[in-house]
Chains A and B, each alone.
Chain A
Amino acid sequence: MKAKKLVTALVLIGVLSSVLAGCGTKDKTTSGSNQPAVTAASDKKGTDTAKVEKIRVAVANDFNPYAYLDEKGDYIGYEVDVLKKVDELLPQYEFEYQTVADQFVALTSNKVDLISHQWESNPERQKTYLFGKEIVTTWAAYIITKDGAEKLQTYKELEGKTVATFQGSNDAYQLETYNKEHNNAIKLEYNSGDFSVILSKLESGAVDAFLLPLSYLPSIEEGYKVKLQRSDEPSYYSGTYFIYRRDDADETALQEAVDGVLKTLHEDGTLEKLSTQWLGADYTVEPEDQK
């Protein structure tokens, strides 16, 4: 008899805890988002009573100044603010923000509906994903060297030098593409973690240079209290976009709606204002105009 009671009690605890795991701690604890809690039950096709469609948006939580968490655990940053403005102008959608492991895998496996992480477009990515047509930011990437060191101007001058980069990033892609045609002339050193590692390697001379979008330079210099110098001319131009699932009618509709609103926000100066506020200048103009 006692054994039975014990088993019943254990089963009860199990059921209770899985219920707790399922909903109780859901919103606040995991994503740190300040969006209202949404239960798993409110799925898209279920009921037609609520016309507002929930859109699961992936944002980073450690990507200052684009998307990160403040002390209270709320998402802030340029991309977060742009997404919030877009959401305001689209009454048919309600954005929920979350951070996911691998944004591209999460998108294709249907865990999220829109991803944002200053994604640049390249032919390989275009084949697999649906890119927004309106830019989020534009980029002019420069070659960065230690202040007072020999200034490096072009990829040609980088030959024989060691350049720090992050695995899977677009500047790694650029340098790897160059290397393919030039017999691996540039030594690439892959890093992970935060920028302080790269900066200390630059300081010690272990690496000679790295590539950085102009929009990111002031926040690096200010954040780490360092002085850097950049090449006179940019090494490449780029734009960043929101990305959606391919071959999915709902997603195409979402992309068109978001693009429509982004265009308005671009034209009425909202993006310019947000960019100046978060990035220190207007990085929504043509990249050729960024000096």
Chain B
Amino acid sequence: MGNIDYFSFQRVAEYFPQLLSRLHITLIITVLSLVIGLLLGTLIAAVRLFNIPVLKQITTVYISFIRGVPINIQLFIVYFGLPALLNPVFLRFNIDLNMLDAFSFVVATYAFNSAAFLSVVVTAAIQGVDKGQLEGARSIGMTRGQMFMRVVFPQAFHIAIPEFGNTVISTLKDTSLAFTVGVVDMVGVISSIAARTRHSLEGYVGAAIIYFAFCIVLEKGFSALEKKLQVYK
């Protein structure tokens, strides 16, 4: 029995195109979850900012649940639990949630997840705008809509950027667990490559390079954006 040929850079290069061919799935999951998550998160933030009773307590529980439960557990709960919970209702409308594929459940999970984190970001950003500015705006006769669009939103947007960037990056990285429910994304394809070629380490190294490159670009992008918007301060 000779030495097992564990690792070669040549194979990293060889498998790289196969990883890239699945990169779009990773990115689609990230973008869809963030868009839906931002919408949901804004709604949650509104509930918290307007202090709506009962709903506010529900959002508090929701946010601490999402923060406290590991994402792979959340994935399994949504993937197996959501249809079990909601199917009795949906089946009345002739919709069987079990007919949806893993991809939809993955997007739903990451959307629910990022919604919690983004709602905190949005809430903090809006609360971060100085109260005096609102009084000033009111004193020159702005309507509530004008106040929001011209005074609150631009400043809140600026405050939110660094934390928003962090959420984008962590969502991107979290999608690496989507393979656990059967989605063949960039990470999922590694086990297929390993099944075919008997080598997996090279695939993981390749994926590390891609994730790392993306996160560097995102980080730089967000800090550049933040600098550019400095004018609002």
Does B8 sit within 8 A of A, measured CB to CB? no
Closest to A27 in B: B101
Chain A residues with CB under 8 Å of B199's CB are 196
Chain B residues with CB under 8 Å of A101's CB are 76, 79-80, 102, 180-182
Inter-chain CA distance A29–B27, complex, in Å, is 12
Does B18 sit within 8 A of A, measured CB to CB? yes
Closest to A195 in B: B198
Q: Mark B1-16, 1 if CB is under 8 A from A, else 0.
A: 1111110000000000
Inter-chain CA distance A194–B190, complex, in Å, is 11
Interface residues on B, range: 35 or more
Chain B residues with CB under 8 Å of A100's CB are 102, 181-182
Pairs A–B under 8 Å by Cβ, sample size 5 = A13-B39, A21-B107, A31-B101, A45-B94, A46-B94
Closest to A96 in B: B101
Q: Mark B139-168, 1 if CB is under 8 A from A, else 0.
A: 000000100110000000000000000000
Chain B residues with CB under 8 Å of A10's CB are 38-39, 42
Closest beta carbon of chain A to B45's beta carbon, Å: 13
Contact B102 A199 (CB under 8 A): no
Does B59 sit within 8 A of A, measured CB to CB? no
Known contacts A18-B36, A30-B184, A69-B195; 12 additional CB pairs below 8 A are A13-B39, A14-B36, A29-B25, A30-B101, A40-B99, A68-B195, A68-B196, A98-B102, A101-B80, A195-B198, A224-B4, A226-B4
Contact residues of B between 166 and 215, Cβ < 8 Å to A: 180-184, 188-189, 191-192, 194-200
Contact A98 B182 (CB under 8 A): yes
Contact B96 A146 (CB under 8 A): no
Instruction: Take A62-B192, A109-B84 as given contacts and tell me if A225 and B100 are in contact as well, using a CB distance cutoff of 8 Å.
Output: no
Contact B35 A109 (CB under 8 A): no
Does A203 sit within 8 A of B, measured CB to CB? yes
Does A110 sit within 8 A of B, measured CB to CB? yes
Inter-chain CA distance A44–B18, complex, in Å, is 36
Does A43 sit within 8 A of B, measured CB to CB? yes
